[in-house]
Amino acid sequence: MELDPILLAGAKAKGKRPAYFDDPAIDRLLSILMAVAGELAVTRERLDTVERLLEASGHLDRAAIEHYRPDRATGRERSLLMREYVARILRGVQQEMEAMAEAEPDVEAVSQQLRDS
């Protein structure tokens, strides 16, 4: 039986969709952005595979690409590149979270103020 990608894309997870922003349109946009970022991450790894196979043998075929398994050093290199990539994509969100954390008073400080008053 052949899988229908349109049907699979429409599948819904159980439970309520998480909301991160006041505007649901922003949450939908973030969801789309993260899906595209995920697709690009997969493409980047596949391109890395193609480059490594070409460098090693000067030629490649689809089977070699599909069956390629990175060694430990390559896995570490890819992991570092992926962390850097995700950090760049989510930098704006991280900055917003850092700003919110700075704006919130320290729990210990609030507790001390309550004890002192």
Q: 110 Cβ partners below 8 Å, 6+ apart?
A: none
Q: 74 Cβ partners below 8 Å, 6+ apart?
A: 48, 52
The reply to whether the predicted model has a pTM over 0.85 is no
List the chain pLDDT tens, one digit each, 117 residues.
Answer: 688 877 777 777 777 777 778 888 988 898 899 999 999 999 999 999 999 999 999 998 999 999 999 999 999 999 999 999 999 998 888 888 788 777 777 777 777 777 887
- Token pair of 102 as six digits: 């700075």
Ordered by start, the domain boundaries in the chain are 21-116
